[in-house]
Structure 1
Amino acid sequence: MSRLTHRAGRAGPALHPLALALLLASACAAADDDGAGQDSRAPDAVSGDALQTVTVTARRREENAQDVPTPITTLSGETLDKQRIYRLQDLQQALPSVNVAYIHARQSSLAVRGIGNNPASDGLEGSAGIYLDNVYLGRPGMAIFDLLDVEQLDLLRGPQGTLFGKNTTAGVLNITTRKPTFTPESSVEASGGENGYFQGKGSFSGPLTDTLAGRLSVYRTRDDGFLNNLADNRTLLGGEREGLRGQLLFKPDDDFSLRWINEYNSENSTQGSGVIYGAPALFWKRASLVGANPLLGHANIDGRQNVSVHQNASSLEANWNLAGGFTLTSISAYRYWHFNPANDSDQLNVPVIRDLGYEVHDRQFSQEIRLASPSGGAFDYVLGAYAFKQDLGNRYFTDLGPLADLDLIGANLNALNNVSSTSYGKIDTQSYALFAQGTWHLTDRLDFTAGLRGTYEEKDAKVQRYAPEGGAAVRGLAAAVRASQAGAYDSGDLHLHNAAPSALLSLSYRFDDNLLGYASLSHGEKSGGVNLTVGSAPSAGADSLLVGPERANDAELGIKSTLFDRRLLLNANLFWTGINGYQATTYYQPPGSLTGFQVLANAGKLRSRGLEFEATALPFRGLTLNFNGSYNDVTYLSFKDAPCPAEISTQPGAPATCDLSGKRVMGASKWIANLNGEYQWQLEDRLQPYVTASYAYRSEAEGTLDDSALSKIPGYGLANFSVGVRRDLGDGQLDASLWLKNAFDKDYYLAVTTASNGLYVGSPGQPRMAGVTLRYDF
């Protein structure tokens, strides 16, 4: 039986003005106008009867992707538009070995090869790094906005610590946006669809003077949502997002230029809503005790559900072409991110938990300097330095209702009824690194690459919970329960420091002009972190809030080929990754406590191994086919003190921990396959009709870390179709299309989380939606 059975649809949103303003001023420094991705195309772009070259900057210099000895999948902005991929969570329908666990902007994570499923960890960076225009994003939620005016998106798999700013043990998602141009170009687009969906986008670029160009990109997206709430017939999982990016490109000559980017994004939505996905007998018993009537596969809440997110950012990238062919690059950046939720987290239509959540403020500063040697000699290299500072603070709040005791404890002691509690956490991170990577061209066909990075990080943190407010005066057992769950606590000053190396050794051999083979060994290390919530500290001590580093060793063996006069691209690779101290969100229940907490901890050792494959083909003129897929076997080799699944932990006399050694890692589908194609042809009167189709499949996955049978996510496949026509009109081209997403209306889930009394809450994906898009490029 389908878990998700109630949806709601409405029509007709109106576009509201974008209430944003951005001030741009010129400055004097330098950047290379031919930077990353400026003239690149994704593998599906064609020129006549041959595939075009894809340019990437995976090694911090422009190269043909087929010449880079590492697994890379590239999507152009054109591909994202054709497949209507405009949010981070949509990327798992187009990329191999990728899982995006999405609940809302704070509880989101990007995992590569099954590594990195760490949502909602404010005191720790992700295992997979996300970069926007060469700037590392300290929180995954910084990328949970519409992908606006993207030039190219590159997925690099495996540890990438030797050249990218922050150590990453799983991989890197590198997003490059379109630059200002000295030739005028503009694009406007409007889309409308079911459930009140509307999206408007615009991009305008051109010269301001002979040496200064500007670009302005804006969007606004809204929808009514699709999840019906039984308690009051609200429609959830809808809302509004809007954003703006303004850029200046100063280029006085061919050797000297600077790109200044300013960005703003906001969201006001009911994201974070979910359905009852699975629950043990205890949950249903307690729900009956408080007079609630929850239903599997439905939302039925009585409280407020809202998420408010605001973000702004500014970055400067300067490049100098120096004497002798050297290139010097400087990237300075600042980002601010604010997340503020309101959550009815008990999933019940009675007042048990009125509100619960984490408000987060995050500021980050980064500076990177790189020097790239000229290419074409016997040896080329890149070396540099990186500094990163992050100041993050959160506020954890709980506001319990009059039925809290009956639901959370099972008896009315007046211990938690109508009690409110607030705690604050803060962490200051400082990270510094020196790095270098060089390639020796031993022969015309054989290359040897070595890279090394040394990173030093310090983290200072503190967690403090104030005395509870409200509730009846209590003593004895009730007072003890209240103190254990909401009593005042101060962790004192917490400190972590870590010095970590990252390294790469790689051999590549070009068998001929169209076939490259490679093998590599790499090591990556990610520093530890701090749980920014009281959680286990009162019973287990403040040191239980600390999380140790995560270390990865990786081996790759692969080929890259271009065949049949550049009509077929075929790449494949085998990989093996071992992780020690894997950082994952677990569940901790203090001895004698009636409720538990989600905490971040080192989950032990795991192994990820498998095969990845991608191909692009031009069978005949007008038809382009893309296919990528992966087989990932991701298993805990040792995880003896893991949380127990709810069907065990809620039983009388249940063990405190369970052994998950040999079990699959959460969120990691063994099989992933993505297929898409486009056929276009030419008619008279400058008409160019086209049809597109895509199908994305993922096999079943563990929904939560505890390996519960109640939280498993079944495998699913999603099909998308579109049909349209392009026509030259005036000085531009008009594109009109009809599209259908999730054409067969498949129920699927983006994540599953744990809640009180063993409840598992599912975050459902978008149901079938039809719509129309009009676009004009001029």
Structure 2
Amino acid sequence: MISRALLLAGAAYVVLSATPALAETATDSVTDSVDEQQKTSVGTGASDRSDEILVTARRRQETAQEVPLAISVIGGEHIDNTGSFNVGRLQQLTPTLQFYSSNPRNTAVNIRGIGVPFGLTSDGFEQGVGIYVDDVYNSRVASATFDFLDVAQIEVLRGPQGTLYGKNTTAGAINITTNQPTFDFEGKAEVSIGNLNFKQAKAAVSGPLSETVAARLAVSSTSRRGTIYNAVTDKWIQSQDNLGLRGQLLWKPTENLSVTLAGDYSRQDAECCGSVFVKVGKTERAANRQFWALAAAQGYTPISTNPYDRVTDLDASLNAGNKIGGASLKVKWDVGPGTLTSVTAWRFWDWKPENDRDYTGLPIVTKSQNPSQQDQYTQELRYNYSSKNIDFVIGAFAFHQRIDTQGTESHGAASSRWNLSGALASDKSVLDGLTARNTQWLKSTSVALYGQLSWKVTDKFTIQPGLRLNYDKKKGFYQREVFDGQGNPVLFKDPVTGRPLTDPVLDARVIAQRGIFAPQVSSPSFSDWNLSYDLTLSYEVVPNVLAYATYAKTFKTGGINQNGLPADSAGNPILAAGSIKPETVNHYEVGIKAQFLDRKATLNLSAFRTDIKNYQATVNNGQFGVLRGYLANAGAVRTQGIEADFSFRPSERFNIYANGAYTDATYRKFVDAPCPPERSGGSASPQNCDISGSRLPGVSKYSLSFGAEGNVPVNLLGQDGQVYLGYDGNYRSNFSSNPTPSQYTWIKGYSLSNFRVGFRTESGFDIYAWVRNAFKENYMEQLIVGSGNTGLIVGLPGDPRTWGATIKTRF
């Protein structure tokens, strides 16, 4: 029972080229955190300068500039200084990383626009961005929403990583390294306070228990008042109430053997998650079935039509209870010419949500909750070898996961008027109390063999091929039972006579109820083998300038529709939709990594194209509960772009960085996509729309992150140190917030600015004041189309301006 929160934090971030300005503070801690047995000789053109950035992206320690792939490195101190305390905040530092979350379960992490389909989350498919914490893989992005705890550094790798990491990932990987136990006593503590009743405390202590055993313990607690006021409950929602714990034991009986046992637990108990009214757009529904007409018929007016008033009137219970944890056992053994590593892990995730799925103050949907429990087991065994001309890693990986979900969804007294027409609309009893009870489980198994070779043909030219053989099997079960307000089952056939309940007069109530919640049982399954491979060529053009080119042929495994299947007119599930095909990925990339001005300046450039056939997309029919969303294959998707990272440190007194990306991510062919709300809801509205050529959701064409820090030496209160001023900013151009682009769901571009000013000493004392979103930018993180095609658009506003102070010390 060890490392489950560790898993989450490590695999969710794969982004851009190395960014030394961000990682400058990480080198020393990472050097301590990486096992001595992973270290190899420094390659040509590298240096032993103390500000060199060390990474383990290729399962061995080397400098970031030696690695022929696009990688961003963010040091633990920079993460703390910028308030990037969880995965969601990292996208402000890494331009091609996208993070979307309406609640912890409905969370997505993409790199370069790909990874997982945009929309409601399903357990039946894989993520394309791997999240690793201390070598432990986390299978669900939703379980990676905990606070970072005692992190040494984060490496975001962009592009396919299946020949080097345990689980196959087609978009990238986020490799999170935490600080490890030490045989010298050390500790650190940090306290922050701010507006919105923000309070955060972190502490870690490490030291020897004997000559061969060392331990490390870390704890973190975060609380903050919510940013949206719910006038119905008189509570602030979107709050934070997080607790994280991690303990590690290191046994090192010899210099050649180390055994690390780790355990972690994270709890989130926030008043969350809700939305605010944004606007209403016209759909193809009849005029009396549009949002404003329906609202007027029930005397309802949203409490505010200005989303930045941050006021809502949601009347259903809200909850986002989240418990994450686990254990891992890592054994590293230097067997002479190489290192053998075994990582055994178990992780759990318990999710207890409550939502308001009608997004209004009316009792339409009175209950929406799908608590879920996950158990995950992984075993990875790999061998690393390094010599003058040959480096390689070979490995085997096994994964098994079980997820159980129990759902309850109920409608209330306002539902009939809102969802039905004619005489039934005036009869509250038709839908009042209508309840669906969902039971589902998923068993997922994966095994793989993988390897990557690095052959230094000459001192300057290196060939790096990789190979992966992968097997995946998924088996699921889904059952939805539906009951009316009197507790009677809602069926497709009369249980006594067997007669289909389709007569429009006798069974009108039942037909209407089935239009909201349709009973169903399905048992989808999928299994398949696939072979992935890649080839990278790199050449040192001149000292400190490395050029590389990569081709990768890889696959994202197929999946199953775990939340129910589309059905025919008789209510029979369409079994052909039970599984989705694997994605086939062809990836091309070229790049150059350069240092100049005595390596005080770094410039990394990369250009990429990724073509995907049978892209796994979310399809949504817009209804409340019949089938809100399921997975299908789009014909083809392409993402391509250019990325640049620049950093400059002319002296110890000043450093500056700027990272940018242009990303062109589009559906190349998607002829049967769900239609946008403006083309939905009418009797003559198309069932599907051709959105070929449209931009993928969530992707900004232009994204930037930039910042600088300067300091001057001073003696303050008898202590020698530095007074410093730091700035970090980011910009995103507009992006679509709907699986199918809609004129109603484009989020305009925005820019955020964060400042900090403080005093620090060489002994580890640091005190500073900070302000985030300093210029009070009003922006939306996500827009959501309300169910039922009424034209309602709700949103999740980003954080307002926040400010506070932090004091921390090392000892």
TM-score (norm. length: structure 2):
0.87
Correspondence for 1:111: 110
CA distance in 1, matches of 2:548, 2:323: 43
Check if 1:634 corresponds to 2:665: yes
Partner of 2:586: 553
Distance 1:603 1:762, change over 3 A: farther
Give the superposition deviation at 1:542: 3.2
Write the distance in 1 (CA, Å) between the matches of 2:86 and 2:365: 31
Cα separation, 2, equivalents of 1:727 and 1:434: 49
CA drift of 1:704 comes to: 0.6
Q: Which residue of 1 aligns with 2:692?
A: 661
Q: Which amino acid in the other structure matches residue 396 of structure 1?
A: G
Residue 60 of structure 1 corresponds to: 59
| Partner secondary structure for residue 360 of structure 2 | coil
The question of whether the paired residues in 2 share the 8 Å contact of 1:36 and 1:56 is answered with: no
Q: In the alignment, which residue of structure 2 is the partner of 1:127?
A: 128
Contact persistence 2:622–2:788 (CA under 8 A): no
- Please give the per-residue CA displacement for 1:506-554, whole angstroms capped at 9, x wherever unaligned: 1000112200000010022111222222252445513323222122111
Q: Distance in 2 between matches of 1:37 and 1:535?
A: 51
Match of 2:214 in 1: 213
The corresponding residue for 2:681 is: 650
- Per-residue deviation, residues 395-438 of structure 1 (Å, max 9, x unmatched): 23211111111112242354322111111111101100011111
Q: 1:383 aligns with which of 394, 398, 405?
A: 394
Q: One-letter code of the match for 1:339?
A: W
Does structure 1 residue 446 correspond to structure 2 residue 477?
no
Matched, 1:501 2:535: no
Does the 8 Å contact 2:325/2:348 carry over to 1? yes
Q: Aligned with 1:757: secondary structure?
A: coil
Listed one character per residue, the Cα deviations across residues 20-68 of structure 1 (whole Å, up to 9, x for unaligned) are xxxxxxxxxxxx976369999xxxxxxx997721111221111211111
| Deviation, structure 1 residue 260 | 1.2
**Contact residue 116 and residue 126 of structure 2 kept, 8 A:** no
State the AA in 1 paired with 2:747.
Answer: I
**What's the counterpart of residue 745 of structure 2?**
711
Deviations 1:289-329 (A, max 9, x none): 23321243252212211110011110111111012x21101
Provide the secondary structure at the position in 1 that maps to 2:646.
Answer: strand
CA contact (8 A) 2:553 2:586 kept: yes
CA distance in structure 1 between the aligned counterparts of 2:69 and 2:527, rounded to whole angstroms? 31
Aligned to 1:412: 426
Distance change in 2, residues 1:315/1:400 (3 Å): same
- In terms of mean alpha carbon deviation, does 518-527 or 56-65 score higher? 56-65
Q: Does 1:403 align with 2:402?
A: no
One-letter amino acid of the counterpart of residue 80, structure 1: I
Equivalent residue number for residue 85 of structure 2: 86
Instruction: Determine the C-alpha separation between the residues in 1 that align with 2:512 and 2:530.
Output: 42
Aligned twin of 1:312: 325
| Structure 1 position 727, deviation (Å) | 3.5
Deviation at 1:719, TM superposition (A): 0.2
Q: Which residue of 1 aligns with 2:601?
A: 568
Paired with 2:401 and 2:75, the residues of 1 have a C-alpha distance of 31
Unaligned runs of 5+ in 1: 1-31, 41-47
Match for 1:700: what amino acid?
N
What amino acid maps onto 1:777 in structure 2?
Answer: R
- Conserved? CA contact 2:274–2:314, under 8 Å: no
Distance 1:736 1:412 in 2: 64
Correspondence for 1:136? 137
* Partner residue, 2:99: 100
In structure 2, C-alpha distance between the alignment counterparts of 1:559 and 1:289, rounded to whole Å: 63
**Larger deviation, residues 333-342 vs 521-530:** 521-530
In structure 2, what is the Cα distance between the partners aligned to 1:442 and 1:585? 46
Query: Take 2:637 and 2:413, find their aligned partners in 1: how far apart are those partners?
Result: 44
Checking the alignment, whether the CA contact within 8 Å between 1:450 and 1:503 is kept in structure 2 is yes
Are residue 753 (structure 1) and residue 784 (structure 2) matched? yes
Q: Could you tell me whether the CA contact under 8 Å between 1:535 and 1:598 is conserved in 2?
A: no
Is contact 1:37–1:176 with CA below 8 Å preserved after alignment? no
Question: Over the residues paired in the alignment, what is the CA RMSD in angstroms?
Answer: 2.2
1:36–1:57 Cα contact (<8 Å) kept: no
Aligned counterpart, 2:805: 772
Residue 767 (structure 2) pairs with residue 736 (structure 1): yes
Q: Which moved more, 1:603-612 or 1:117-126?
A: 117-126
Q: Which residue pairs with 1:603 in the alignment? A: 634
CA shift, 1:772, in A, is: 0.8
The answer for the alignment partner of 1:7 in structure 2 is none
Tell me, which stretches of 5 or more residues in structure 2 are unaligned?
A: 1-30, 40-46, 283-289, 491-505
Counterpart of 1:428?
A: 443
Give 1:459 shift. Answer: 0.6
How far off its partner does 1:589 sit?
A: 5.9
Find the counterpart in structure 2 of residue 146 from structure 1.
147
Which residue identity does 2:326 align to in structure 1?
Answer: A
- Report if aligned partners of 1:388, 1:432 keep a CA contact under 8 Å in 2: yes
Distance in 2, matches of 1:636 and 1:154, equals 29
Aligned 8 A contact 2:239 2:272 in 1: yes
Find the partner of 1:362 among 374, 380, 384: 374
Equivalent runs, 1:471-620 vs 2, <5 Å: 471=486, 476-491=507-522, 493-537=523-567, 538=571, 540-588=573-621, 597-620=628-651
State the one-letter code of the partner of 2:397: Y
Partner of 1:183: 184
Amino acid at match of 2:76: G
Match of 1:69 in 2: 68
**1:336-355 alignment to 2 at 5 Å?**
336-355=348-367
SS of structure 1 residue aligned to 2:358: coil
Give, in angstroms, the shift of residue 148 of structure 1: 0.8
Instruction: Tell me if the contact between 1:415 and 1:471 (Cα under 8 Å) persists in the aligned partners.
Output: no
Q: Sort the Cα spacing of 1:361 and 1:38 in 2 relative to 1 into closer, same or farther, 3 A.
A: farther
Contact 1:286 1:406 in 2 (8 A): yes
3-state SS of paired residue (2:84): coil
Query: How many residue pairs are counted as aligned between the two chains?
Result: 732
Work out whether 1:680 is the aligned partner of 2:680. Answer: no
CA contact (8 A) 1:188 1:775 kept: yes
Partner of 1:670: 701
Q: Distance in 2 between matches of 1:400 and 1:440?
A: 63
Equivalence for 1:43: none
Change (3 A) 1:89 1:649: same
Deviation at 1:94, TM superposition (A): 0.2
Distance 1:235 1:125 in 2: 34
Instruction: Output one character per residue of 1:478-526: Cα deviation in whole Å (capped at 9) or x when no partner.
Output: 11222343343211x3220011111111100011220000001002211
- Cα deviations across residues 174-207 of structure 1 (Å, max 9, x unaligned)? 1111101111111111111111111111111111
Counterpart secondary structure, 1:479: helix
Secondary structure at 1:371's aligned position in 2?
strand
**1:726 Cα offset (Å):** 1.5
Cα pair distance change 1:142/1:230, threshold 3 Å: same
Compare 299-308 and 664-673 and name the one that shifted more. 299-308
| Cα gap change, 1:129 to 1:752, in 2 (>3 Å) | farther
Answer whether contact 1:36 1:176 (CA < 8 A) is retained.
no
SS in 2 for 1:478: helix
Deviations 1:127-149 (A, max 9, x none): 21111111111111221011111
Distance across 2 between alignment mates of 1:500 and 1:762: 40
> Aligned to 1:129, what secondary structure does the other structure show?
strand
Moved more, 309-318 or 666-675: 309-318
Q: Assess if the C-alpha contact under 8 Å between 2:33 and 2:152 holds in 1.
A: no
Identity of aligned residues (%): 34
